[in-house]
Amino acid sequence: MSVDKATVAKIASLARIRMDDAALEQMVPELNGILQWVEQLGEVDVTGIEPMAAVIPNTLRLRDDVVDADPLTGGGKREDVLANAPAAEHGFFGVPKVIE
Amino acid sequence: MTDLTSLGVKEIRDGVARGDFTAREVAEAFNAAVAEAAALNAFIVTTPDHALAAADKVDAARAAGETLGKMAGVPIGMKDLFATHGVQTTAASHILEGFTPRYESTVSQKLWDAGAGMLGKLNLDQFAMGSSNETSYFGNVASPWKKAGSNAAMSPGGSSGGSSAAVAARIAPAATGTDTGGSIRQPAAFTGICGIKPTYGRCSRWGIVAFASSLDQAGPMARSVEDCAIMLGAMAGFDPKDSTSLQMDVPDWEAALNADLRGKKVGIPREYRMEGTDQAILDSWEQGKAWLKDAGAEIVDVSLPHTKYALPAYYIVAPAEASSNLARYDGVRYGLRDLPEGVGLQDMYAATRAAGFGDEVKRRILIGTYVLSAGFYDAYYTQAQKVRALVARDFARAFEECDVILAPTTPTASFPLGSMNEDPLTMYLNDVFAVPASLAGLPAMSVPATINADGLPLGLQLVGKPFDEQGVLNAGLAIQQRAGFSAKPEKWW
Amino acid sequence: MSNYRIQGATGEWEVVIGLEVHAQVTSNAKLFSGAATAFGAEPNAQVSLVDAAMPGMLPVPNRECIRQAVRTGMAIEAQINAWSRFDRKNYFYADLPQGYQISQLYHPIVGEGSLLIEADEKAGIPEDKVIGIERIHVEQDAGKLMHDQHPTMSYVDLNRSGVALMEIVSKPDMRSPAEAGAYLRKLRAILRYVGSCDGNMEEGSMRADVNVSVRKAGEPFGTRTETKNVNSVRFVMQAIEHEAMRQVDVLESGGTIVQETRLFDPGTGTTRTMRSKEDAHDYRYFPDPDLLPLVLEDDFLAECRASLPELPDAKRKRYVEVLGLTPYNARELTAEVETFARFETLLAETAKATGKDDTAVATQVANWSLSVAPGVLKALGDEADPANATATAQAAILAMADKAEISGGQAKEIFEIVLRTGRDPNEIAETEGLKQVSDTGAIEAAVDAIIAANADKVEQYRAGKEALFGFFVGQTMKAMQGKANPQLVNQLLKAKLG
């Protein structure tokens, strides 16, 4: 499969990366080079093989339902989460007005 | 007095403990070396005060007769992918420039708890995407090594290129690295140092800027196998904050180091004999076999039939995960915001991400977005995860016949900065030997073997069974003892 | 079969409805972080570094959220998947800090189940109907945007970000707003019985995405629209009605239905296109690499099952078959958790107070609970202190009535005083003279006096004018100031009148 400029533009839009025409033009052959190369995977016989689910055989550990059990993953971090925000007002993050 | 900056982790730790010198003297010496080495561009920010404060604490603890930590008095470099409380953390990206976390990554916290101090935040390929340290927003890192007869700046490897350069240049005795598809081993090989990526899940990923979650692992980079064993011991351990963290005890790797390999089988994977591999690399591989045999090991041939497909599978899985992991950099909660006049939220995202991410990061986000998009998911992502399962199965079968695998770390030695930028694929191929172990989550290490005709270091790679870091370290030690690698770069910075 | 149809210009249209209900899982902490879930906190006060998607943060799932989803699945007799996993749903929005929602697409924790809605003629549901449930999966809630606080900015509050939701996806099995309403009410009851969601729609603990399409009888399903986040049963029914009408209008005027996301406006009862999520159709789902497969052990599943309470359908059946209640009473009493809980407490207390079996007093307790007690409470209004209506007090009243010590009227009077004052019912009956006279001698004397005083009527009665019996009862009760045990009065009158 190969991508054209319109496809790259669509992907870039999905990925929310603004790209001008020149950038798109440049990206098309680069992506096609990579995609053509990864397509050799199609040669591999994967009959009966499950996609890898866990790198090291392991299952999901669950945590107890306790609020703020570990301060590092607990709530009450308003100051800390807002500290680096480009726009923070009245305890909120600010973004350009959204019309729903 | 010896030049303190020539010392490694063990020598510093033991020297401080014995009172041969103070931790403060060590920190001062390395701070000065760091300050002199701006030409390497190994650090994005330096934190001499952090190093001094940690040193003073160790000196005070020693004076008070307290038990000292595993890394007491050792100032290290911290790859700028680890969140450090109050110290800018960027992943070498413009999009995180100025971001100052109010939290500390688990691994860095464990190192500070063990008595280490921080010399600064080390440069890297942007978001750890790259194999030459040329994708950083904060400029290329130059290797301290030069090719014989040339003054061209050489690549320190990547993505942990700031780490490898700093350790090789003796401006840090050790540094943290992270390895997603070779990012510890390849730079270690390029700069003549050691680096180990432990079993996936050994080191907590909590607080490390994510690249590809199912592959990312932190590990130490230092100049000896012993130093790696010590530092890995301080970095590893179960962390309930990371769902993929291994819930098992951390062995005392340092204490159990043993280069006597009698009774061990070393596997030589025939599929690693690839076209395009330098003859010098193949020669050093042969030499490695001889060294391990000399250490008592039996050399056996093994097969890893899907080796060829590991790299393309990696270049689907890693970008797919990255495209999602990097979605959080959107200009809302931290980092860069590019808000052109009068645009809405979605345009702000697109503008911010266009301005904030470098070309390689964008390329990988686009690949990842494409392979996950409707209609392509099964053909690319599912297929790649199946191939990945086959790569892992190859290793599992090989390890029925051997205890550790010996292979080259890279197909070539370091190359001049800027020499591989024509086609992204050429650069990707540099990780061909490193990636399979990453896909399978296995512990793997690079140790320096020799110097090639250009005067550049070459590394050998050891890959172990899951959880068998000890086996990897022991084989690494056997090579280290026999290789007697003592070359070091001429100081030009 | 539902006979609900939209009458269009070209004929009758059938409405096809599927509901995706988002139910907030009852838990102390969020699904993947330790931040609290309580409603109504200051903006961003209940946000962890994980919820704000700071770089390097990782999710660790909350066992209770998983447990509640499994118990809910068991309550709808669904397939429980011992192996499931979390996927990422990728899209960009200001209420979604990670740029993806952790959800379950490929391997949900709960598979197919079903739910029964009961016949309700009045509501337009002629017979019982089973509604299929496709799946239940666990996912993160998003944050909240506020648009009216600043002229050019929207404000983001992440308190809800990361709160655990169960998404309960029905099959497109409903055919009328009434069926959808009944489904939602039943689902809400089940969730509240199980304790996995508080069902509080006002606080957003339960919201429905409403999928509606229309078709002519016998045709395949039409294109559907999805109206997001409708937060009451009434609104869901309104949204369906409006959306079905709109679609019929569009189709009949030659248009086509666009598969799209719509918003419901409670003010006007109408739906409109949602502009902000128009292009977000390619979610690029893939397994979340930060999380491993979720494997449920047998012990865990056994505990989930053992901890399930008696569920609405089983309870209703038992009320009819064992307690002998009418189907209507059984349905009323089992509709809400509070109702059956009060009923069952009072039933136990009454059985104890009377020394009888549950079954012997159940009908009495049911009538009291559904009509007598609520009637008294309502009549008293603010004068009543509902806290005084303890099960013990009410059981004492019911026991007196059961032993015929008090009449129905007296029971109400006593309950009134209890509600006002909190006094003891037995003491009220004694001191306020609210007891029936069961002294045979006193009643006999009164009966004798009345027979003597009304010889003519006695004659007529004995001649066959049986309607006069009521007259004698009335006169006797009057003579006894209304306090005579009516059964005794009847008995004695019958005996004396012959």
Which ranges in C198-336 belong to alpha helices (H)?
Answer: 233-252, 298-306, 312-321, 327-334
Which pLDDT tens digit goes with each residue over B446-471? Answer: 999 999 999 999 999 999 999 999 99
Min Cα separation A57/chain B (Å): 10
The pair of three-digit structure tokens given for residue B210, joined into one six-digit string: 């994510």
Q: Residue C88: which of B83, B208, B324 has the nearest Cβ?
A: B324
Which pLDDT tens digit goes with each residue over C263-315? Answer: 999 999 899 988 655 455 799 999 999 999 999 999 999 999 999 999 999 99
Q: Which residues contact C72 (CB under 8 A, 6 or more apart)?
A: C23, C110, C136, C166, C168, C190, C191, C194, C196, C197
This model of the complex carries an ipTM of: 0.97
The residue ranges of every structural domain in chain A are 5-43
Interface contact A13-B240, CB threshold 8 A: no
B85 neighbors B42 (Cβ within 8 angstroms): no
Which amino acid appears at position C184 of this protein?
Answer: L
Check residue C415 and give its pLDDT: 95
Distance CA B106, CA C52 (A): 18
Distance CA C383, CA C376 (A): 11
B79 in catalytic set: yes
Interface contact C291-B243, CB threshold 8 A: yes
User: Is the per-residue pLDDT at C208 higher than 90?
Assistant: yes
Check residue C157 and give its pLDDT: 97
Q: Is C151 helix (H, G, I), strand (E, B) or coil?
A: coil
Interface contact C44-A16, CB threshold 8 A: no
Interface contact C156-B332, CB threshold 8 A: yes
Cis peptide before B159 (omega within 30 of 0): yes
Place of tokens 């010198």: B21
Residues of C whose CB is below 8 A from B369? 284
C190 neighbors C72 (Cβ within 8 angstroms): yes
B183 in catalytic set: yes
Q: Which residue of B has its CA nearest to A59?
A: B244
B195 neighbors B177 (Cβ within 8 angstroms): yes
Instruction: Tell me the mean pLDDT in the region B195-219.
Output: 98
Chains that touch C (3 or more CB pairs under 8 A): A, B
Domain A5-43, CATH number (from 1.20.120, 1.10.20, 1.10.287, 3.30.479): 1.10.20
Query: Between residues A10 and A100, which one has the greater pLDDT?
Result: A10
In which element (H, E) is residue C263 found? strand C261-265
Interface contact C290-B213, CB threshold 8 A: yes
Rounded to the nearest 5°, which phi and psi values hold at B486? Answer: -130, 0
Interface contact A60-C291, CB threshold 8 A: yes
Residues of C whose CB is below 8 A from A72? 49
Residues of A whose CB is below 8 A from B444? none
Query: Between residues C99 and C473, which one has the greater pLDDT?
Result: C99
**Measured on CA atoms in the order C223, C226, C227, C231, is the torsion positive or negative?**
positive
Q: Which residues contact C225 (CB under 8 A, 6 or more apart)?
A: C211, C212, C213, C243, C247, C257, C258, C259, C260, C261, C262, C271
Check residue C278 and give its pLDDT: 47
Q: What is the largest CA-CA distance in chain A?
A: 58
Place of tokens 């989550």: B441
Which pLDDT tens digit goes with each residue over A59-75? Answer: 899 999 999 999 999 99
Interface contact B377-C92, CB threshold 8 A: no
Interface contact B324-C49, CB threshold 8 A: no
Min Cα separation B107/chain C (Å): 12
Residues of A whose CB is below 8 A from C50? 73
Which pLDDT tens digit goes with each residue over B352-409? Answer: 999 999 999 999 999 999 999 999 999 999 999 999 999 999 999 999 999 999 999 9
- Its pTM stands at 0.92
User: Is the per-residue pLDDT at C220 higher than 90?
Assistant: yes
The verdict on C56 touching B (C-beta cutoff 8 Å) is: yes
Min Cα separation B197/chain C (Å): 18
The verdict on C40 touching B (C-beta cutoff 8 Å) is: no
Distance CA B320, CA A28 (A): 18
Residues of A whose CB is below 8 A from C66? 62
**Measured on CA atoms in the order C368, C371, C373, C376, is the torsion positive or negative?**
negative
B9 neighbors B174 (Cβ within 8 angstroms): yes
Check residue C276 and give its pLDDT: 54
What Rg, from alpha-carbon coordinates, does chain C have? 30
Residues of B whose CB is below 8 A from A99? 344
Chains that touch B (3 or more CB pairs under 8 A): A, C
Residue among B136, B183, B204, B323 flagged as catalytic:
B183
Interface contact C54-B333, CB threshold 8 A: yes
Interface contact B328-C56, CB threshold 8 A: no
Which amino acid appears at position B296 of this protein?
Answer: G
The pair of three-digit structure tokens given for residue B101, joined into one six-digit string: 């976390």
Probe site for chain A from B239, B246, B333 (most A CB atoms < 10 A): B333
Phi/psi region, residue C199 (left: phi>0; alpha: psi -120 to 50; beta: rest), is left
Residue among B93, B105, B159, B284 flagged as catalytic:
B159
Probe site for chain A from C26, C102, C153 (most A CB atoms < 10 A): C153
Which pLDDT tens digit goes with each residue over C340-373? Answer: 999 999 999 999 999 999 999 999 999 999 999 9
Interface contact C92-B333, CB threshold 8 A: no
Residues of B whose CB is below 8 A from C92? 327, 330, 346, 349
Distance CA B109, CA B487 (A): 33
Residue among B10, B70, B79, B465 flagged as catalytic:
B79
Q: In whole angstroms, what separates CA B256 from the centre of its chain?
A: 23
B376 to each of A11, A32, B354, B382, C286, how far by Cα in Å?
12, 14, 25, 9, 12
Q: What one-character DSSP code corresponds to residue C319? A: H
- Considering only CA atoms, which of B131, C89, B376 is closest in space to residue A41? B376
Min Cα separation B244/chain C (Å): 7
Q: Sorting pLDDT into bands at 50, 70 and 90, what band is C495?
A: confident
Q: Of all residues in chain C, what percent carry a pLDDT higher than 70?
A: 99
Residues of B whose CB is below 8 A from A27? 362-363, 366
Min Cα separation A12/chain B (Å): 6
CATH superfamily membership of B4-258+465-483: Amidase signature (AS) domain (3.90.1300.10)
Interface contact C263-A100, CB threshold 8 A: yes
The pair of three-digit structure tokens given for residue A39, joined into one six-digit string: 């397509």
Q: Is B407 helix (H, G, I), strand (E, B) or coil?
A: strand
